[in-house]
Amino acid sequence: MFEETLFQSSRAGEQFVDILKKQGIVPGIKVDTGLQPIDGTDGETATQGLDGLADRCKRYYEQGARFAKWRAVLKVDSDKCPSSTAILENAHGLARYAQIAQANGLVPIVEPEVTLGPGDYSIERTAYVSEKVNSHVFRLLNEYNVILEGILLKPNMILPGLDVPTPSPEEVAKYTVRTMLRSVPAAVPGIHFLSGGMSEEEATLNLQALQAYGPTPWSLTFSYGRALQSSTLKIWSGKESSWKAAQERLVALAKANSEAQLGKYAGPHPSPGGARILQALRLGGAGK
């Protein structure tokens, strides 16, 4: 949830967190305050929000939140990005956030996203960059005494640039699992992949393919945004008359990915085909 939503109530006056708890859903909270450009880099960004984070986490816990999320975005290309400046800045932010969240009772979701973007960089290039980023993130997590058994990792799957043909789920899974084995300690309980621009069906098929590379030290599951919400929001379109149809699509997408993370997805997909769900990088404050 965003901070605004964490404290909001339904039409009937019942707080959203209480509605979730009654259904066995654990509320979480996005705690960063958005991306800002790093001067002197080629459009790379750092995540803001450490100021006052301890006090905010304390309030979020009192309101019912039990986990938190902080998104760091690393730009990748075939040559210069990500820079060492961007890697170190974002690794520090993730580690310090995780330390503060744990100190205030929240499980930190650590999200170092090597973001899918334009270019002809190869899947091998993304794998190399992701290994490097993950290694720096975990070095800093250890420096800040973060309890690895008490975090969840939310990384990208390994994909080439947008100017390269879309790889098969088997190829994505091979490079993704190899990257995680090379760079993520076994103490981490779960790796919850972001959908990061993949189409809704592509995200499900790639998640299913990961399960063929087990057993792994961690649970390989999903924490999708756009791949659960894109067609759901289009169906809803802000219309109360579309609530039921939108909810049915959301449940169907969640079910498909739940089956995929068990290696039991058999189709057909509720949102077959479809193009990549890309989003412009937004800079600014909370909610961006």
Catalytic residues: 111, 154
The C-alpha atoms of residue 133 and residue 74 are separated, in whole angstroms, by 8
Structure tokens given for 159: 């994909």
**DSSP one-letter string for 48-94:** ---TTHHHHHHHHHHHT--EEEEEEEE---SSSPSPHHHHHHHHHHH
Distances (CA, A) of 94 to 48, 70, 89, 173, 184: 10, 7, 9, 25, 15
N residues, the chain = 288
**DSSP one-letter string for 100-140:** HHHHTTPEEEEEEEE---SS---HHHHHHHHHHHHHHHHHH
Query: Which of 55, 198, 206, 207 shows the shortest CA–CA distance to 113?
Result: 198
Distances (CA, A) of 198 to 109, 115, 193, 230: 21, 11, 11, 11
CA torsion angle 88 283 113 79 (round to 10): -70
